[in-house]
């Protein structure tokens, strides 16, 4: 791309009242939390249980997955070199570095994440965190925080508490609040006779976990709902209604994962609704294909619609954007790059759209013009602005990034 394409685009946007410079600056200030678990198919470093026990699954046998924290960090650094802007990394408790010692999840402490914290400080990025309630013998029967056995429940409450503490330390060390997101797999394969009791137990567990007040400048609690999972096809304790109610009542962040609703149900419409009642939202941007399959996000209509809601609703400061997919059938570094760049491209398109004009049309009942202009936006020269943004950030603007990943595959990944 050359400057003349950018200045032509700049002029074209100026003619509809949009400043491309402003869009670029705003985009530069929106971090996306890149999930570490795409790098190793959600394996983590513990080897203690099966992923499907948590109702999730990574399929595919693409070579070169990261086997330890150093490899995972190097892979993420490689991805970040191909993604414009400064972002965040989303970690799970199973990525603890315990120096070969077995440390059970209820005993984890910040000590085990010093390697990550040091690296994040060096990279000048923030960290987000997740307790891991799956792939563990104590989750093998499908219940964790909603377990009827108090001893099992205790273990998971301790784990969650340990994780909040780790998250707080990340926030303190890195000077950026760490979002600590609770997702549990609990539920039933077949028709339950009692939907109520597990929910009451879960509520009690959460109350206990969150009883300790932590400064929101350091750590933010969020809760993630789900509709169904593998082995929990008929009933999930932590449903959308459950956590929406919980978040509203207890002033928590609600996490909306785009794969956690009915297969044709998208999440863009939920943002302006839930943000009437809760302060902040966490997004797990994902792509379900027929089920919660966690495919890499593409620049599709749901993604564009979601980005528009974030931007046009004025919610940039209240929505924490995280990605959540894990495809083991393609190059994992490429999966990150594709997903991150798509999220940013969707945001850029939203930033470049004539939102004020569209709203004016709407207010005046001029729906023909609203639809016509919305469609015109799709083919405006936003790509020239994207390329300019990439160039200013020192990353490849177009498809050249793929060669960089393929070189890395040859030189590093295939040697693992």
Q: List residues binding Zn ion (CB under 5 A).
A: 257, 284, 324
State the catalytic residue, choosing from 159, 252, 260, 320: 260
CB 68 within 8 A of CB 242: no
Q: Which of 123, 216, 112, 207 lies closest to 166, judged by CA?
A: 112
Buried b or exposed e, range 210-219, using 16+ CB within 10 angstroms = beeebeeebb
* Active-site residue, 284 included: yes
Question: HSE-up of 304 (CA within 13 Å, CB side)?
Answer: 10
Binding stretches for ligand RNT (CB under 6 A):
37, 42, 56, 130, 183, 224, 226, 257, 284, 292, 324
- Smallest separation (angstroms) from ligand RNT to the CB of 55: 7
Active site residue 260: yes
Q: Which does 226 bind (CB under 5 to 8 A by kind): ligand RNT, Zn ion, none?
A: ligand RNT
Active site residue 262: no
| Closest to ligand RNT by CB, 219 or 395 | 219
**Residue 5 designated active-site:** no
Is the CB of 226 or the CB of 252 nearer to ligand RNT? 226
Which alpha helices (DSSP H) does 288-354 contain, by range?
301-312, 332-351
Q: Of these residues, 65, 87, 226, 252, which one is catalytic?
A: 226
Beta-carbon contacts of residue 329 (< 8 Å; ≥ 6 apart) = 59, 60, 61, 62
Least distance from Zn ion to the Cβ atom of residue 121, Å:
26
* Residues pairing with 126 in the sheet: 88
- Inter-residue contact 152 to 143 (CB < 8 Å): yes
Report the nearest approach of Zn ion to the CB of residue 318 (Å): 19
Which residue in the list 40, 46, 224, 280 is annotated as catalytic?
224
Give whichever of 226 and 320 is closer to ligand RNT, judged by the CB atom. Answer: 226
Question: Could you give the CA distance from residue 389 to residue 29 in angstroms, rounded to a whole number?
Answer: 12
Nearest distance from C-beta of residue 35 to ligand RNT, angstroms:
7
Tell me whether residue 226 is one of the annotated catalytic residues.
yes
Q: Which partner from the list ligand RNT, Zn ion, none does 40 bind, CB cut-off 5 to 8 Å by kind?
A: none
State the catalytic residue, choosing from 183, 336, 382, 401: 183
Angle of helix 114-123 versus helix 69-80 axis, rounded to 10: 20
C-alpha to C-alpha distance for 371 and 87, rounded to whole angstroms = 34
Q: For Zn ion, which is the closer residue by CB, 285 or 358?
A: 285
Task: Tell me 303's DSSP state.
Answer: H
Compare residues 46 and 324 and give the one whose CB is closer to ligand RNT.
324
Residue 77 vs residues 74, 202, 231: alpha-carbon distances, Å:
5, 38, 35
The C-alpha atoms of residue 205 and residue 211 are separated, in whole angstroms, by 10
Task: List residues bridging with 127 in a β-sheet.
Answer: 89
224 is a catalytic site residue: yes
DSSP letter for 261, please.
S
Return the residue nearest ligand RNT (CB atom).
183
Minimal distance in Å, beta carbon 412 to Zn ion?
28
Shortest approach of ligand RNT to residue 378 CB, angstroms? 29
Measured from the CB atom, the residue of 36 and 350 that comes closer to ligand RNT is 36
Active-site annotation holds for 360: no
Find the catalytic residue in 46, 221, 309, 324: 324
Q: Which of 35, 138, 169, 284 is catalytic?
A: 284
The DSSP bridge partners found for residue 187 are 236
Closest CA to 125 of 69, 79, 80, 71: 80
Q: What are the catalytic residues?
A: 183, 224, 226, 257, 260, 284, 292, 294, 324
């Amino acid at each position: 791309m050359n400057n003349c394409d950018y200045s032509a685009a700049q002029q074209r946007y100026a003619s509809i009242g949009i400043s491309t410079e402003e869009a670029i600056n705003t985009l530069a200030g929106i971090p996306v939390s890149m999930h570490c678990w795409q790098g190793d198919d959600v394996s983590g470093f513990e080897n203690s249980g099966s992923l499907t026990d948590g109702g999730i699954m990574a399929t595919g046998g693409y070579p070169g997955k990261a086997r330890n924290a150093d490899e995972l960090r190097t892979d993420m650094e490689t991805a970040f070199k191909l993604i414009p802007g400064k972002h965040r990394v989303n970690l799970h408790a199973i990525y603890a570095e315990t120096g070969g010692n077995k440390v059970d999840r209820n005993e984890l402490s910040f000590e085990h994440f010093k390697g990550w914290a040091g690296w994040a400080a060096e990279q000048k990025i923030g960290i987000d965190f997740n307790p891991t309630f799956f792939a563990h013998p104590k989750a093998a029967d499908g219940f964790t925080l909603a377990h009827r056995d108090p001893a099992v429940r205790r273990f998971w409450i301790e784990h969650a508490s340990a994780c909040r503490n780790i998250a707080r330390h990340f926030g303190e060390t890195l000077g950026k609040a760490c979002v600590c997101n609770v997702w549990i797999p609990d539920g039933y394969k077949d028709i339950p006779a009692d939907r109520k009791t597990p929910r009451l137990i879960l509520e009690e567990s959460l109350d206990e976990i969150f009883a300790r007040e932590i400064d929101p400048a350091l750590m933010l609690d969020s809760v993630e709902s789900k509709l169904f999972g593998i082995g929990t096809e008929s009933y999930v304790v932590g449903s959308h209604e459950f956590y929406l109610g919980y978040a509203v009542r207890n002033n928590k962040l609600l996490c909306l994962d785009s794969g956690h609703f009915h297969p044709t149900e998208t999440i863009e419409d939920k943002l302006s609704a839930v943000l009437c009642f809760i302060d902040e939202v966490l997004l797990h941007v994902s792509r379900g294909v027929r089920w919660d399959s966690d495919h890499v996000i593409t620049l599709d209509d749901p993604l564009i619609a979601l980005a528009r809601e974030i931007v046009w609703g004025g919610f940039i400061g209240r929505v924490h954007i995280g990605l959540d997919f894990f495809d083991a059938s393609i190059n994992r570094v490429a999966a990150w790059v594709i997903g991150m760049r798509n999220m940013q491209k969707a945001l850029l398109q939203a930033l470049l759209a004539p939102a004020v004009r569209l709203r004016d049309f709407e207010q005046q009942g001029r729906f023909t013009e609203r639809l016509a202009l919305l469609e015109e936006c799709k083919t405006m020269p936003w790509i020239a602005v994207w390329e300019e943004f990439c160039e200013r950030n020192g990353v490849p603007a177009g498809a050249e990034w793929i060669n960089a990943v393929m070189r890395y595959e040859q030189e590093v990944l295939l040697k693992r």
